[in-house]
Amino acid sequence: MDQRTELSEFLRSRRARLRPEDVGLPGGTTRRRVPGLRREELAQLAGVSTAYYTRLEQGHGENVSAAVLDAIARVLRLGPAERDHLGRLTKPARRRPGGTGPTRPQRVRPALQQLLDTMESVPAYVLGRRLDIIAWNRLGAALLGDFAAMPPEQRNIAWHVFLDPAARELFEDWETKAGDVVGLLRLDAGRYPDDRGLASLIGELSVKSEDFRSLWATYRIQDKGHGTKRLHHPVVGPLSLQYETLRPAGDADQVLVAYHAEPGSPSAESLRLLASWDATELRPEPADRAGRVAEQNR
């Protein structure tokens, strides 16, 4: 992915979502050819020349100062994740030979896998780059899918959400989930603009999913956080679960996602039933599962 193009599209998308009255300017009576603020309006509010901002929006952000970026971010009302994304897009990417991007397979520390396995009543998994699912516990697989049985290229949250029909049945608010996933992929695109694996994933999703193409064009930026997910599980039915995102030490590209239900709630009882059901299924033990995953990731 071209970093200049990404910067240009990002700034245009954020300028288009603002109206003059949103930033204290008169709306005027003449109809605008394109939605949002004009370049000269944004430049004036940010305290830079129109020519300077125009060059930046054309993708030339190599020498822009932090103060100017802060001013533009303030006018565009960027959130923290969006501001960080803008900063990355204005820094020259450190290209690897051949433009391959990160190539070393991601692994979780054995102690982290052990921690996952001890969380017997909490569905949990670890995401790596490109939203690859690189570790999980038994209840996480029971809730979201048998990851160990999936081909490596399908062991990915974005692939699951957009290309697995079961995801639309599992996530009650599928549209919100899909938008969040696209926002997370955009963050990775800013971090690793030369990652061929990420480019290949985005290309596959764009070809095979009209929903993905539409959402990708909105240029949403979303960081992983916390909140509530409503699911409809094929075995235990409706679930309302809280999720938390934790970042293990040692690898900035890994996040641990854990789901939990309010104690005493119907969803807590459903999770207990799901754990009981899973215990009766023939699944590989944690050590065998880790070995299979390592072998598939080679």
Mean pLDDT within 70-84: 93
pLDDT of residue 28: 58
Domain residues of the chain, as ranges? 3-92, 110-297
pLDDT of residue 281: 65
In the predicted structure, residue 158 carries a pLDDT above the cut 80: yes
Q: What's domain 3-92's architecture?
A: Orthogonal Bundle (1.10)
- DSSP, collapsed to helix, strand or coil, labels residue 219 as coil
Q: What are phi and psi of 156, to 5 degrees?
A: -150, 135
| DSSP calls for 11-35 | HHHHHHT--GGGGT----SSPPSSS
Mean pLDDT within 37-61: 92
Mean pLDDT within 246-251: 86
In the predicted structure, residue 78 carries a pLDDT above the cut 80: yes
Closest CA to 158 of 123, 197, 190, 191: 197
Q: What are phi and psi of 282, to 5 degrees?
A: -85, 95
Percentage of the chain modeled with pLDDT above 70 = 87
Q: How do residues 103-124 score in pLDDT, each as one tens digit?
A: 567 889 999 999 999 999 999 9
pTM (2 d.p.):
0.83
pLDDT tier at 129, thresholds 50, 70, 90 = very high
Which carries the bigger pLDDT value, residue 22 or residue 128?
128
| DSSP calls for 146-165 | -GGGS-GGG-BHHHHHHH-H
Q: What are phi and psi of 270, to 5 degrees?
A: -65, -40
What whole-number distance in Å separates Cα of residue 167 and Cα of residue 11?
A: 32
Does domain 110-297 sit in CATH 3.30.450.180?
A: yes
Q: How do residues 177-229 score in pLDDT, each as one tens digit?
A: 999 999 999 998 888 888 899 999 999 999 999 999 999 998 999 888 899 99
Which carries the bigger pLDDT value, residue 252 or residue 104?
252
Strand 124-127 vs strand 133-136: parallel, antiparallel, or unpaired?
antiparallel
Mean pLDDT within 94-111: 66
CA angle 202, 131, 223 (to 5 degrees): 100
Mean pLDDT within 5-29: 84
Average pLDDT, the chain: 87
pLDDT of residue 27: 65
Look at the alpha carbons of 217, 218, 219, 223 in this order and tell me if their dihedral is positive or negative.
negative
In the predicted structure, residue 171 carries a pLDDT above the cut 70: yes
How many helices (H) and strands (E) the chain has is answered by 14, 5
pLDDT of residue 292: 43
CA angle 229, 128, 86 (to 5 degrees): 85
Mean pLDDT within 121-134: 95
Which carries the bigger pLDDT value, residue 37 or residue 29?
37
Name the least confident of 26-40, 106-120, 233-247.
26-40
Percentage of the chain modeled with pLDDT above 90 = 65
Name the least confident of 29-43, 58-72, 116-130, 148-162.
29-43
What whole-number distance in Å separates Cα of residue 161 and Cα of residue 177?
A: 8
pLDDT of residue 298: 42
